[in-house]
């Protein structure tokens, strides 16, 4: 008897939600809220929005966090599943690729679905940077420095952003400032147009001093930010540097999760497909200029999909720093203000709760797909600390050329 | 233990924080009020005068905002684990005059009334414990959500000498119907059984039960749908008058039989519920205020607050040695496999989670004991009160043997053999040959001297008394007996074990009958003695009705078993003298095995004495027959004398310990304060002992 071959299936992004993002501060939205609870709210909201999904059909819960201890410890995927009320039969795990944690949760579970090992997965990430400052309690191996494996400031993300400015002199502070201000403006416009709220799940806020509140909106954005207003901001990472609070993502608390399914399972269960995964790739780069990571990752993902950059009609690129987005745009010959890029603004405005941002990019791309049926392909991409990039290429089910692979089976969807 | 007067503390003020919440879908603004005393979950949120004033101020402000169109709804919720645990009993119990009591009652009503007249829909998001005035706060709102993990929704007032007088008596029967309302207001408080969220929803006390994981978020969403009209909550029509009056009449009969005028609160509560159908809201609330004012100024209520305080503080036993002295208990031995032994084995295995070995002389008795354990476990698992795996673990951890040597590795061995001193001494002597030198020996004796039992041992300091009450699983008290040589380690281990068994432990010294049996058996002895002197048994049986004891004396005799009762009475007489009277009639009844009580006329009602037992006494009867008051007086006098002796002997350190024992070990009512508050307020302690037992005002309305 021959060895059974894996059943390769396409994977669809059914839906995604996130918590409102909060500032990672002592007086921030989530100062008194647990990280795992944030994740729980997103999972429960996804299940609530899709009552046709029997919870016991979820095959995996993969939740990312960069710092996996305290309220982000204890195998998040499992704890969040139990706390969210999923049946005990549903397994889960925790995953980490720093900023690309949620993206990796998505691609890992998608891969398992793709080879027929699973049908339905919940994937997401959470980062409470107020409870877990980046790199806190980390114990880097001294060999990194003694053997000069990385430069001694490669673990300071702001410094790596300054390094990018050095490496690509065309990336000026003026371009970065303009991009940063535009991010705020695009976010404000998207918020006003009702593009942000539908993806948010409200979170109850315990406050012993003032009573319970409810988080219903992102806290980090600074609407009305102008280039003039940020032109004179200090450069905390280097005297006379170029990176400022106006061109960097603020420290943020938040969680995001999504529901993935095999295309045929989605049909069977009556679940919508808001995006279909085409390809994904991760790539490593020199840690001291980690922000360039999305460039090789995107090249690889496009190659694997048999597509070129010209096939991509919408980009959701994480804005850890404006300069890092600009390095990507320059690499692919895209204008700084290209309307295909970050239509709702980005992390500079909304914030970047490290391991959850990957799914935020996806749920925003999914919403843009619905508004742009003329676009067939889009991508989500992000840089990763210590020198990596990750990219996922997605297809728009609203496009006229889209064919459900399940159509041959006579599905209505 | 210091007196409650010294403990009386300033009000822990519950604050009423209000925050604006944006309702989903552009539904406007909901003002969310959080009631929070700023302390952690070990300090329940309660409402005293200052808290009520703050709530009133907050709600008044919101009413103005509602009128101005700024808010579309008001909701109230609590800090984690608590909605509101009720009125602050410490504050209520320190009110010294009726006008203040009436003002407090009215202030609560006035605050809650704002939730009724807010002008916009009001909601209670019951996130945790909601008792008494806390649940009434929710009931005064237009709508209620409850988290599915809330297990304590109740109106316990009638059991605490009060009535649900902040709207509960009026609102509950209208909301859930008269029959369920009588359960909520009268039956459940009597059995101290609160409602869980699901049950509360099933009778209509709350409108919807939501998952705790996102309770507040989903409550807000639900409220938004009510405000928008998407959800309409149906309210039941008022029950018809005949049904209403019929149910009240049945309840009244029951109160007459069980409460028998021993305390005013249940009757007042029933009066209010009876009127709730036809009274106007204003009149009904005014009647609630008057009832509250009367009851706050009643000794029964003050005794109840005192008793509540004792029971609450009972988790930290007075006089217990430092916890760190307790020895670890990893394996428990039980000597004997009789009924009591099997109950103790089951409880230890269940609560301590350690192996238990039960030993008796022959295999037949061992098998019988194990069968009793299995029957208990089977009952627990078949009714769903215990999981199959937990049941299997429990059965697997209890082992029976006839081999004494199996006790060798036990660090605690409890004897539960027949109450014969020489037998118990022999058991301990044998045990000492096999157990480790550090192992603790405990006895479950109810009346024998623990010191005598330990006297001839090599290590008498390892012996401690652990006196359990029957049925072991249900009775919350353990008398921890300090014998002459008991070491602090043995005593500390006794307390630690009692705590793990989730029992309240009271430290008693080794005097015959300790506390509960000494007083209960004395009571029975005096009752029987009255009969010996010509008092009709029925008169004697009814004599204590005005105390509202859990059962009449002959039913108690029947429960403990006439032979056991006689045995203990005899044994106490030998040790303590003729205060514990001899009764040939009782001896005859026991010898003949005569039935002494008739079946109860209905479930839950007292079992009356069988008049036929009079025959056992008539031959010897000499002296003057007493009426009910006379019998009662002789019983109370005897009890007062005995309490005086017990305090003088140092059986316990203070009257409070006697009261705690009587409440938890004998089931005596909160309205009596256990025993000593009743003896004080009826003047017995002054007349018999020449002094009060508790300072004035501690468990009564201060007389000056």
Predicted pLDDT of residue A409: 43
Distance from C-alpha of B556 to C-alpha of B543, rounded to nearest angstrom: 14
Contact A203 B217 (CB under 8 A): yes
- What's the CA angle centered on B398, arms B395 and B401, to 5 degrees? 130
Beta bridge partner(s), residue B358: B334, B400
Non-local (6+) Cβ contacts of A378 within 8 A are A275, A312, A313, A314, A315, A316, A365, A368, A369, A393, A394, A396
* Angle (CA) B401 B403 B408, round 5°: 105
Rounded Cα distance between B27 and B225, Å, is: 9
Q: Tokens for B443, please give them.
A: 């006895």
pLDDT-derived band at B681, boundaries 50, 70, 90: very high
Average pLDDT, chain A: 94
Q: For a pLDDT cut of 70, what percent of chain B falls above it?
A: 98
What kind of architecture, by CATH, is found in domain B15-297? Alpha-Beta Complex (3.90)
User: Which DSSP letter does residue B150 get?
Assistant: -
Say if residues B694 and B2 touch (Cβ distance below 8 Å). no
| pLDDT higher than 90, residue B624 | no
* CA B327 – CA B332 distance, rounded (Å): 12
- Assign residue B188 a region: left if phi > 0, alpha if psi is -120 to 50, beta otherwise? alpha
Average pLDDT over residues B618-624: 70
Structure tokens at B27: 């539904």
In chain B, the residue whose alpha carbon lies closest to the alpha carbon of A81 is: B213
Q: Which residues of B391-409 are buried (b: 16+ CB within 10 A; e: fewer)?
A: beebbebbbbbeebebbbe
The answer to whether the CB atoms of A41 and B214 lie below 8 A apart is: yes
Once rounded to an integer, what is the mean pLDDT over residues B85-93?
90
pLDDT of B2 over the 70 cut: no
Predicted confidence band of residue B446 (pLDDT cuts 50, 70, 90): confident
Distance CA A26, CA A131 (A): 9
Is residue B311 scored above 90 in pLDDT?
yes
Q: What is the DSSP string of B449-498?
A: -HHHHHTTSS-GGGEEEEEE-SSTTT--EEEEEE-TT--HHHHHHHHHHH
**Do residue A212 and residue B77 have CB atoms under 8 angstroms apart?**
yes
Nearest CA in chain B to A42: B214
Q: What pLDDT score was predicted for residue B5?
A: 43
pLDDT of B580 higher than 60: yes
Cβ neighbors of A155 (< 8 A, separation 6 or more) are A135, A140, A287, A385, A386
pLDDT, average across residues B612-634: 86
Task: Report yes or no: B489 and B327 within 8 Å, Cβ to Cβ.
Answer: yes
Given the candidates 1.10.10.10, 1.10.1040.50, 3.50.50.60, 3.40.30.10, the CATH classification of the domain at B516-650 is: 1.10.1040.50
Tokens of A19: 């918590």
Instruction: Give the per-residue pLDDT at B619.
Output: 65
* Nearest in space to B35 (alpha carbons), one of B64, B55, B63: B55
Q: What is the mean pLDDT of chain B?
A: 93
Model confidence at B682: pLDDT above 90: yes
* Residue pLDDT, tens place only, B280-293: 999 999 999 999 99
pLDDT at site A301: 98
Among B22, B34, B211, beta carbon nearest to A212: B34
- Under the banding of pLDDT at 50, 70 and 90, the label for residue B470 is confident
Low-confidence ranges of chain A (pLDDT < 70): 406-413
Residue B186 to residue B168: CA distance in whole angstroms: 12
Residue of A nearest to B18 (CA): A211
Kindly state the helix (H) or strand (E) to which residue B367 belongs, with its residue range.
helix B363-382
User: At residue B560, does pLDDT exceed 50?
Assistant: yes
How many C-beta atoms lie closer than 10 Å to residue B612's C-beta?
12
Of A245-249, B27-31, B558-562, the range with the lowest mean pLDDT is B558-562
B213 touches chain A (CB under 8 A): yes
Residue among A204, A206, A207 with most chain B CBs within 10 A, to mutate: A204
With contact defined as beta carbons under 8 Å apart, do B182 and B119 qualify?
no
pLDDT of amino acid B418: 87
Q: How far is A217 from chain B (nearest CA, A)?
A: 10
**What six digits make up the tokens of B346?**
């089951």
Contact B55, B64 (CB under 8 A): no
Among A84, A85, A213, select the one facing B19 at the smallest CB separation.
Answer: A213
Q: What's the gap in Å between the CA of A394 and the closest CA on chain B?
A: 30
Q: pLDDT tens across A179-193, in order?
A: 999 999 999 999 999
The CA distance from A226 to A185, in Å, is 9
Distance CA B161, CA B545 (A): 18
* Partner-chain residue, chosen from A40, A209, A211, that has the shortest CB–CB distance to B213: A40
Sign of CA dihedral A283, A289, A290, A291: negative
**CB-CB neighbors (< 8 A) of A83 in chain B:** 213
**Residue A394 is inside which H or E element, if any?**
strand A388-395
Residue of A nearest to B40 (CA): A208
CA distance A295 to A284: 10
Helix (H, G, I), strand (E, B) or coil at B400: strand
For the stretch B95-119, pLDDT in tens is: 999 999 999 999 999 999 999 999 9
Chain B residues close to A202, C-beta within 8 Å: 24, 217, 220-221
Burial of B603 (0-12, 13-18, 19+ CB in 10 A): exposed
CB atoms within 10 A of CB B565: 23
CB contact under 8 A, B213 and A201: no
Which residue from B18, B80, B211 is facing A85, i.e. has the nearest CB? B211
For residue B451, the model assigns a pLDDT of: 94
Residue written as tokens 């709210």? A41
Q: What are the CA-CA distances from residue B168 to residues A293, B138, B162, B301, B484 (Å)? A: 66, 10, 12, 18, 53
Taking an 8 Å cut-off on Cβ atoms, the answer to whether A216 and B22 are in contact is: yes
CB contact under 8 A, A212 and B24: no
**DSSP 8-state assignment for residue B514:** T
Q: How confident is the model at residue A88, as a pLDDT?
A: 97
Structural tokens at position A344: 């709702």
Q: Between chains, do A44 and B213 touch, taking CB under 8 Å as contact? A: yes
> Which residues of A form the catalytic set?
99, 352, 383
Burial of A89: CB neighbours in 10 Å, binned 0-12, 13-18, 19+: exposed
What's the pLDDT tens digit per position in B121-180?
999 999 999 999 999 999 999 999 999 999 999 999 999 999 999 999 999 999 999 999
Phi-psi region of A118 (alpha: psi -120 to 50; beta: other; left: phi over 0): beta
Q: CA B577 to CA A29: how far, in whole Å?
A: 73
Catalytic positions of B are 136, 157
Which residues 366-425 of B are in CB contact (within 8 Å) with A?
A: none
Report CB contact under 8 Å: B220, A210: no
Beta-bridge partner residues of B334 = B358, B414
Q: What is the ipTM metric for this complex? A: 0.91
CB A105 within 8 Å of CB A363: no
Residue in this structure with the two tokens 């089931």, named with its chain if needed: B667
Please, which residues 58-87 of chain B have a Cβ atom closer than 8 Å to chain A?
77, 79-80
Site of tokens 């209670």:
B124
DSSP states of A89-114 as a string? T--EEEE-BTBTHHHHHHHHHHHHHH
From B414, B465, B409, select the one nearest B434 (Cα to Cα): B409
Is-contact B264 B292, C-beta < 8 A? no
Distance from the Cα of B31 to chain A's closest Cα (Å) equals 10
User: How far, in Å, CA of A126 to CA of A132, rounded?
Assistant: 11
> Residue B154: helix, strand or coil by DSSP?
strand
Residue A210, SS3 per DSSP: coil
CA distance linking residue B94 with residue B305, whole number of Å: 10
| Cβ contact A83–B213 (<8 Å) | yes
Give the residue on B whose Cα is nearest the Cα of A209: B38
**Whole-angstrom Cα distance, residue A200 to residue A21?**
9
Cβ neighbours of residue B396 closer than 8 Å, sequence gap 6 or more: none
Pairing of strands B463-468, B208-210: unpaired
Please check whether residue B479 is in contact with residue B665, taking contact to mean a CB–CB distance below 8 angstroms: yes
pLDDT at A139: 87
Query: If DSSP codes are grouped into helix, strand and coil, which group holds residue B290?
Result: helix
Contacting residues of A for B73, CB less than 8 Å apart: none
CATH of B323-509, one of 3.40.1280.10, 3.40.50.720, 3.30.360.10, 3.30.1550.10: 3.40.50.720
Note the pTM of the prediction, 2 decimals: 0.91
Cβ burial of A224 (10 Å; 0-12, 13-18, 19+) is exposed
> Domain spans of chain B?
15-297, 323-509, 516-650
Q: Chain A contacts of B34, Cβ < 8 Å? A: 210-212
Give the tens place of pLDDT for each residue, A146-176. Answer: 888 888 778 889 999 999 999 999 999 999 9
Burial (0-12, 13-18, 19+ Cβ within 10 Å), A282: buried
Max Cα separation, chain B? Answer: 89
Rounded-to-integer distance, Cα B227 and Cα B221, Å: 10
To the nearest whole angstrom, how far is the Cα of B50 from the nearest Cα of chain A? Answer: 18
Using CA atoms, how far residue B480 sits from B342, B498, B656, B667, in Å, is 20, 8, 16, 18
Average pLDDT estimate for B2-11: 55
Q: What pLDDT score was predicted for residue B437?
A: 87
What is the model's pLDDT at position B621?
61
């Amino acid at each position: 008897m021959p060895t059974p071959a894996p059943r390769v299936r396409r994977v669809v992004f059914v839906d995604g939600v996130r918590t409102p993002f909060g500032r990672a501060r002592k007086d921030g939205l989530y100062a008194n809220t647990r990280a795992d609870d944030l994740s729980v709210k997103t999972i429960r909201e996804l299940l609530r929005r899709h009552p046709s999904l029997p919870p016991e059909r979820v095959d995996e819960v993969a939740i990312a966090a960069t710092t996996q201890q305290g309220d982000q410890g204890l195998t998040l995927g499992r704890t969040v599943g139990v706390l969210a009320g999923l049946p005990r039969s549903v397994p889960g795990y925790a995953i980490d690729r720093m900023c690309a944690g949620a993206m990796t949760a998505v691609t890992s579970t998608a891969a398992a679905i793709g080879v027929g090992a699973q049908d339905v997965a919940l994937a997401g990430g959470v980062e409470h940077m107020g409870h877990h400052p980046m790199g806190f309690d980390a114990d880097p191996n001294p060999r990194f420095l003694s053997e000069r494996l990385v430069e001694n400031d490669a673990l300071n993300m702001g410094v790596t952003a300054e390094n990018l400015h050095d490496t690509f002199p065309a990336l000026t502070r003026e371009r970065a400032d303009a991009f940063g201000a535009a991010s705020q403006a695009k976010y404000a416009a998207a918020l006003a147009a009702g593009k942000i709220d539908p993806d948010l799940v409200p979170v109850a806020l315990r406050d012993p001093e003032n009573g319970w509140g409810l988080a219903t909106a992102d806290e980090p954005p600074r609407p009305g930010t102008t280039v003039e207003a940020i032109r004179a901001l200090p450069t905390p990472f280097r005297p006379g540097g170029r990176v400022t609070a106006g061109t960097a993502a603020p420290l943020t608390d938040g969680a995001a999760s999504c529901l993935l399914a095999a295309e045929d399972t989605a049909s069977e269960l009556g679940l919508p497909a808001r995006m279909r995964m085409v390809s994904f790739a991760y790539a490593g780069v020199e840690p001291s200029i980690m922000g360039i990571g999305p460039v090789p990752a995107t090249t690889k993902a496009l190659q694997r999909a048999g597509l070129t950059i010209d096939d991509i009609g919408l980009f959701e690129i994480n804005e850890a720093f404006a300069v890092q987005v600009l390095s990507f745009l320059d690499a692919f010959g895209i204008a700084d203000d290209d309307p295909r890029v970050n239509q709702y603004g980005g992390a500079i405005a909304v914030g970047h709760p490290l391991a959850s941002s990957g799914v935020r990019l996806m749920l925003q791309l999914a919403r843009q797909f619905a508004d742009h049926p003329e676009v067939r392909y889009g991508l989500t991409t992000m840089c990763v600390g210590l020198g990596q990039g990750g990219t996922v290429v997605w297809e728009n089910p609203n496009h006229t050329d889209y064919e459900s692979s399940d159509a041959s089976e006579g599905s209505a969807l | 233990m210091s007196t409650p007067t010294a403990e009386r503390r300033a009000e822990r003020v519950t604050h009423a924080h209000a925050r604006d919440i944006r309702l989903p879908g552009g539904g406007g603004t909901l003002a969310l009020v959080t009631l929070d005393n700023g302390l952690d979950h070990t300090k329940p949120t309660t409402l005293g005068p200052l808290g009520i004033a703050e709530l009133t101020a907050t709600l008044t402000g919101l009413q103005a905002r509602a009128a101005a169109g700024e808010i579309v709804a008001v909701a109230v919720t609590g800090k984690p684990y608590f909605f509101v645990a009720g009125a602050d009993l410490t504050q209520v119990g320190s009110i010294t005059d009726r006008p203040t009591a009436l003002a407090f009652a009215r202030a609560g009503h006035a605050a809650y009334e704002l939730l009724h007249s807010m002008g916009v829909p009001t909601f209670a998001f019951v996130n945790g414990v909601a008792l008494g005035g806390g649940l009434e706060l929710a009931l005064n709102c237009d709508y209620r959500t409850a988290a599915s993990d809330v297990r304590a929704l109740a109106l316990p007032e009638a059991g605490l000498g009060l009535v649900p007088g902040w709207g509960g008596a009026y609102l509950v029967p209208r909301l859930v119907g008269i029959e369920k309302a009588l359960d909520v207001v009268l039956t459940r408080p009597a059995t101290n059984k609160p409602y869980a969220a699901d049950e509360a929803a099933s009778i209509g006390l709350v409108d919807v039960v939501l998952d705790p994981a996102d309770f507040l978020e989903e409550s807000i969403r639900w409220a938004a749908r009510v405000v928008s009209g998407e959800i309409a909550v149906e309210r039941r029509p008022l029950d018809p008058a005949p049904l209403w009056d019929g149910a009240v009449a049945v309840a009244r009969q029951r109160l007459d039989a069980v409460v028998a005028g021993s305390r005013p609160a249940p009757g007042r509560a029933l009066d209010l519920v009876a009127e709730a159908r036809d009274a106007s809201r204003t009149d009904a609330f005014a009647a609630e205020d008057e009832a509250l004012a009367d009851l706050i100024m009643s000794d029964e209520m003050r005794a109840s607050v005192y008793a509540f305080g004792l029971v609450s503080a009972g988790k930290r036993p007075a006089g217990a040695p430092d916890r760190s002295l307790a020895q670890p208990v990893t394996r428990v031995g039980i000597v004997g496999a009789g009924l009591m032994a099997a109950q103790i084995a089951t409880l230890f295995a269940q609560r301590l989670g350690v192996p238990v070995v039960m030993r008796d002389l022959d295999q037949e008795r061992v098998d019988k004991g194990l069968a009793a354990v299995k029957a208990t476990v089977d009952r627990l698992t078949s009714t769903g009160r215990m999981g199959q795996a937990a049941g299997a673990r429990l059965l697997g951890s209890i082992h029976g043997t006839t081999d004494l040597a199996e006790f060798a590795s036990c660090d605690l061995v409890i004897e539960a053999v027949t109450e014969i001193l020489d037998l118990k001494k022999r058991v301990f002597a044998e045990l000492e040959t096999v157990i480790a030198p550090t192992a603790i020996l405990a006895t479950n004796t109810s009346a024998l001297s623990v010191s005598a039992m330990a006297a001839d041992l090599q290590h008498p300091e390892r012996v401690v008394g652990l006196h359990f009450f029957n049925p072991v699983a249900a009775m919350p008290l353990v008398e921890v007996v300090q014998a002459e040589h008991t070491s602090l380690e043995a005593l500390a281990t006794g307390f630690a074990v009692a705590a793990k068994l989730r029992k309240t432990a009271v430290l008693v010294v080794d005097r015959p009958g300790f506390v509960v049996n000494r007083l209960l058996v004395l009571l029975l002895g005096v009752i029987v003695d009255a009969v010996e002197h010509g008092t009709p048994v029925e008169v004697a049986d009814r004599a204590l009705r005005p105390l509202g004891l859990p059962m009449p004396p002959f039913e108690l005799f029947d429960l403990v078993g006439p032979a056991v009762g006689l045995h203990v009475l005899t044994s106490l007489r030998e040790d303590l003298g003729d205060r514990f009277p001899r009764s040939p009639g009782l001896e005859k009844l026991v010898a003949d095995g005569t039935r002494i009580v008739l079946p109860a006329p209905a479930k839950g009602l007292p079992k009356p004495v069988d008049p036929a037992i009079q025959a056992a006494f008539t031959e010897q009867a000499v002296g003057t027959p007493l009426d009910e008051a006379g019998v009662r007086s002789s019983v109370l006098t005897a009890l007062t004398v005995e309490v005086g002796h017990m305090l003088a002997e140092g059986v316990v350190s203070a009257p409070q310990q006697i009261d705690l024992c009587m409440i938890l070990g004998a089931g005596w009512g909160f309205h009596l304060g256990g025993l000593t508050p009743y003896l004080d307020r009826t003047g017995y302690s002054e007349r018999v002992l020449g002094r009060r037992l508790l300072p004035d005002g501690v468990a009564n309305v201060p007389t000056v």
